[in-house]
Chains A and B, each alone.
Chain A
Amino acid sequence: MKRIKWLILLQIFFLSGCWDRMEINELALVTGTAIDLKKNGNLEVSLQVALPSSADGGHGEGKDGKFFVISVEGKNGNEIHQKLQEKSTRKLFLSHRSVVYISETLAKEGLNGVLDIFIHDPRNRLKTYLIMVKGSEAKDILQMDYPLKQVPIETVKALQISGGELAVTIRDFYIALESEGIQPVMSVIEVDNQSKSKNQLFNFMGAGVFKDLKLAGVLNEEDLLGFMWTTNKLNYGRVTAYLPDGRGEVGLIVTHASSKIITHTEQGSAKFKIMLSGQGGLVENNSTLNVSDPEEMKQIKHALEDAVKKQVQRFIAKIQKDYNTDSIGFGHEIYKKAPKQWEAMRNQWDELFPKAEIGVEVKLRINGSGMVNPTFGKYHGMVTE
């Protein structure tokens, strides 16, 4: 009996375990993927594979390449993956892939059937960032000669450090896609063609607004602030306000931003009020106003609130009227608060959303006025009306 017990116990060693043993130097570590649409309708998938031999920056032998790119054309993800693996002598290892780049042409054509492989195959990480490449082919960004070498890794670093950029992972994208009354967005990157230097650079360009998996439009950086603030994702943002009567401009860094959407539904129509609040420090004061004076500070505050309000209104108008895409999730707000009314509205939401009345209210608190109270070079006595 005892022997049988031991035998049963021993089975956990022989019948189980992780049998996918793979030495680390038998793997091709994929750092980024780019998906392009070819003119013949085929997909072209490019993988950037890290070259481990020079990752330590050590002995400086041979070319100082840190990566190479494999490209393959095919019809669907499975076929493409098969072809990619055939091109690579080592097993493609996708767990360290940080970014999937999607070209603008593909985004416009629609991501139907492209993204499915990213969620069905468990070797893919849902934490991978989705980024749309504007203007050029997605493959270009993998191959570009960036001074810090590996663009995907650097992109992710940039996304994680800045609090104002939109960082959308595959998971976020799918959650938005599958939720009621909200449409997904995606960050946008662009190869910087203006710089004259030898090195190529890239920069973030706002957000791509998707509707039914097709790119509806691109929000610029100014609109992005509105988007981030209303969706409660803003960690860090800069606001500049021009004071009335040409009295100069003031700049604010928003560090604590939050928003609340108040919904009001009636039969066949919906009203929303976006309550934005934020705290921040004054970083620039080119106006004649004296920030140590509470009265004049109030004027600055109002000017800033106005500026934010206009900025957000412009953004709302863009998605409402130009793109007719509910990226913020106003519909989702109704779905949460009045599910029954949403049932009725759901199918006409495309017609209702552009007509919805959306008000914006901004409340700011300026915590600090910077190191110098008046404008640089101006003293209390000199401040005039």
Chain B
Amino acid sequence: MRWSKRRTIRKLDYMRKLNRVESEETPTFTCDLGHNEDLLRKTFRNCADVEYRKIGDDRSEHCLVVYIENLIDKKMLDEHVIKPLLTSLVSNREIHDVTEFMNKTLPVGSMNISRDAAETTGHILEGYAAVLTQGSCKVLTVSLPGTSHRSIEESSTEPVIRGAKDGFIEQLSTNLSLIRLRLKTPKLKIEYITLGEHTRTRVAVLYLEGIAQDSLVDEVRRRVKPIQLNGVVDSEYIEECIEDQPFSPFPQLQSTERPDVVTAELLEGRVAILVDTSPFALVAPMTLWSGLQASEDYYIRWPIATFVRWIRFLFVNFAIFAPSLYVAITTFHQEMIPTNLVLSIAAAREGVPFPAMIEALLLELTFEALREAGIRLPKTIGQAISIVGGIVIGQAAVQAGFISSPVVIIVSITGISSFVIPRYSFANGIRLLRFPMLFLAGALGLYGIVLGYLLILLHLTSLRSFGMLYLSPIVPIKFTALRDILVRVPIWANSRFKPKFHQEGANE
């Protein structure tokens, strides 16, 4: 733990050095409208999307509205800002005090008053309209959000048959609303942190007070706040900055596109991190088992869910070990195969020019290439890839005698097994592990597999995610928690679903 903490601190120091921000003198607004306008025009020079709407007669400008046209709702602006301003102009009432104007005239919910030019600039960039008036030293900013965004759709990375079909989108406010819809309690706390020097991305830290441990929330805050990057484009940027062990193939934060998953995790006392412009929420801490659980486990009947879990446990091992076991046994331990099987494998390998290990490696790499090509290609061309992959590699290579059919079977099983893992980022780590295993098996036989397995096990037992052991509750063993790991007991029998709010409240 201490070691990983030290590493985290070292990482943060490094980032700080990289992005040392020289704090500039921030200019403030004066009571002169012309000066204030110049200030903003200077800040937004060459920004074609910034609009300046002057309100007033020819002789003297009365007031000025500054906004970015693509970020705000034009209709709202006309209705709620321009119109009242014009009315006041017609009635010839001069606006000297913006506070009064705000309180009496503007029918808008969210607004802010500031003298600080930097703050106002920031607000304009976030989709506020700034109202500058002659004679006032303060600037009023009015929130008029009106960006276009994707509608809420079913998550494409975590589809379910039964269960909620909504998924996060690229807009933080919508995503937060999806969670708030599910957790109608004031105990759901949302804290904003703005990260990224240029992107000014808003990051929300969510937790349920009284359920999430304070130490965990503090730890998340402690790790997220000091992040200094010049831009945060996706939640992965945050994930890589705050994870415990950057060199592990296993993800230490669970990423999900589903608000119901985030809700369930919050109810279990975890902390969620949502990043604006990214549809993927991060959940901490993560364990190995949550990498093997799908949200649908809790939406189907428990015996089936338990069965499916065991299928996953079985096939996650296949995904890591199947090719290496095949290579080790056929090249080192032929005596372990039943006689009839060894004869048919030998028959299939007759005339194949490559050693089994090279054969498996070639085919595994081809499979990875196919998979990658299938993801990157447009969907219409994707079919062509599957035809090429299935027929050319699967059949023609075997018939031509380049590759033996048992290897094709093994690689296919491995491929299917890696798709059985429900969490995408976790599956990626598992997929990667089979290559070192393959090399170990090809060089050292079953002994190499045992070594590799031991190394993975050692790594997993020492891995932590936000203070939680990655293998918990198996290591350290906690028998009552196994009810939700090895099996999926009915909801009513699972302590995870029993309300804890009242108990906590009674203690306070």
Contact = CB atoms under 8 A, between A and B. Distances in A.
Contact of A24 (B349, B443, B445, B451): B349
Contact of B444 (A18, A25, A54): A18
Contacts of A31: 339
Contact of B335 (A23, A25, A56, A95): A95
B381 to A, nearest CB: 36
B396 to A, nearest CB: 17
B356 A17 contact: no
Interface string A20-45: 11111101010100000000000000
Contact of B342 (A24, A53, A54): A24
Nearest to A66: B343
Nearest to B359: A23
B344 A12 contact: no
Contact of A53 (B340, B347, B356): B347
Contacts of B342: 24, 29, 96
A18 B330 CA distance: 13
Interface residues of A, number: 27
Nearest to A152: B339
Residue among A16, A20, A23, A29 with the highest chain B CB neighbour number at 10 A: A23
Contacts of B355: 23
A25 B350 CA distance: 6
A13 interface: yes
A98 interface: yes
B348 A56 contact: yes
Nearest to B335: A95
A54 B346 CA distance: 10
B343 A21 contact: no
Given A96-B335, A153-B339, A29 B447 contact: no
Contacts of B330: 23-24
Interface string B338-370: 011011111111111001100000000000000
B343 A52 contact: yes
Binding site secondary structure of chain B:
helix
Contacts of A22: 331-332, 334
B446 interface: yes
A52 B331 contact: no
A118 B356 CA distance: 30
A93 interface: yes
B327 to A, nearest CB: 10
Contacts of A53: 347, 350
A122 to B, nearest CB: 11
B285 interface: no
A23 B446 contact: no
Q: Which of B330, B335, B339, B345 is packed against the most chain A CB atoms within 10 Å?
A: B339
A18 B332 contact: yes
Contacts of B446: 18
Contact of A18 (B343, B344, B347, B447): B447
A23 B444 contact: no
Contact of B332 (A13, A21, A29, A50): A21
A338 interface: no
B448 interface: yes
Nearest to A18: B445
Contacts of B346: 24-25, 27, 29, 50, 52, 55
Contacts of A54: 347
A242 to B, nearest CB: 44
A7 to B, nearest CB: 16
A23 B348 CA distance: 12
A141 B347 CA distance: 24
B445 A21 contact: yes
Given A13-B451, A93-B334, A24 B345 contact: yes
B352 A25 contact: yes
Interface string A95-106: 110100000000
A243 B442 CA distance: 69
A55 B337 CA distance: 15
Nearest to B354: A23
Contacts of B352: 25
A121 B150 CA distance: 72
A260 to B, nearest CB: 37
Given A12-B451, A24-B334, A25-B350, A17 B343 contact: no
Contacts of A16: 444, 447
Interface centre among A24, A29, A54, by most chain B C-beta atoms within 10 angstroms, is: A24
Interface string A178-222: 000000000000000000000000000000000000000000000
Contacts of B451: 12-13
A141 B446 CA distance: 37
Given A22-B334, A23-B355, A27-B334, A17 B349 contact: no
A98 B339 contact: yes
Given A13-B451, A18-B445, A52-B350, A23 B332 contact: no
Given A12-B451, A24-B345, A55-B343, 6 more contacts: A18-B445, A18-B446, A29-B343, A31-B339, A53-B347, A96-B335
Interface of B: 330-335, 339-340, 342-352, 355-356, 440, 443-448, 451
10 contacts: A17-B443, A21-B445, A22-B334, A54-B347, A55-B340, A55-B347, A56-B344, A56-B348, A93-B334, A153-B340
Which 5 pairs from chain A and chain B are nearest by CB?
A: A17-B444, A95-B335, A18-B445, A52-B346, A55-B343
